[in-house]
Amino acid sequence: MIVDCVGDLHGAYPKLEGGDLLIVAGDCTTNDKDYSWDVFYEWLAAQKYEKKIYIGGNHDNRLTMTKDMTPKHCDAHYLCDSATSFEGLKIWGSPWTLTFPGINPHCTAFTGDEELLASKFALIPDDIDILITHGPPYGIMDMVDRGRFTYRKQIENVGSVSLSHAVARIRPLLHVYGHIHQGYGQCGAYFEGAHGMGRGVHYINCSHMNEDYEPVNKPIRVIL
């Protein structure tokens, strides 16, 4: 199964090859306006995949206003603390990320403290094969340099501890996320077909934007 993963699009929509499953891990539009959502849905509808899934991110305030705003012409599945399945694999999507001091007040969709996030991640069933979240688990491709504008490195892990606990409980084949642009990449178990036999968690931070909001990170493909 060909799975392509991308997130943190922020209005920059890459050309994709097509395949079996497309995962979009939140922060979908340029500015969260109606016309920006129209552009996103037009792009998503044009992608050639058997199944397309997207979740919200902290920039996606419009998605907090409704359970599903996907237009009829766009054959995509929106997940928000909910599940779907594809070719025998169970998939869960959750948009929640940690708030932090100084967060942009326009970018607080689906944010909260660890107590709130723990309650949301507790909803995830134990038998999920593909977990999609907007934010990262603590300690895995979640590092930011708080001092990069002062030329004095101050590296910090900013992922969610409660999400780490949830992943340890579930042990999904694939955990796809974004949010922390500097954490782009993948690590953990690597698969090549047969739905990931020899199970282990394959972590993917698929942020399309880098830390300077330049769309230079390529979508990440994995073969399950």
The answer to whether residue 53 scores a pLDDT higher than 90 is yes
Give the H/E segment covering residue 115. helix 114-121
Q: How far apart are CA 36 and CA 52, in angstroms?
A: 19
Confidence class for position 98, pLDDT limits 50, 70, 90:
very high
Asked whether the beta carbons of 197 and 217 are under 8 A apart, the reply is no
| Collapsed DSSP state (helix, strand, coil) of residue 119 | helix
Query: Of the candidates 78, 42, 82, 85, which has an alpha carbon nearest to the alpha carbon of residue 60?
Result: 78
Indicate the residue type of 87.
E
Could you count the other beta carbons within 10 Å of the beta carbon of residue 59?
A: 26
| Collapsed DSSP state (helix, strand, coil) of residue 38 | helix
Question: Rounded to 5 degrees, what are φ and ψ at 116?
Answer: -65, -45
Asked whether the beta carbons of 35 and 19 are under 8 A apart, the reply is no
Domains annotated for the chain, with CATH where assigned, are 2-223 (3.60.21.10)
Q: Which of 46-55, 60-69, 181-190, 193-202 has the highest mean pLDDT?
A: 46-55
Summarised one tens digit per residue, pLDDT across range 65-92 is 887 999 999 999 999 999 999 999 999 9
% of residues, the chain, pLDDT over 70: 93
| Collapsed DSSP state (helix, strand, coil) of residue 192 | strand
User: What average pLDDT does this structure show over 143-164?
Assistant: 82
Helix axes 161-170 and 114-121, enclosed angle (nearest 10): 20
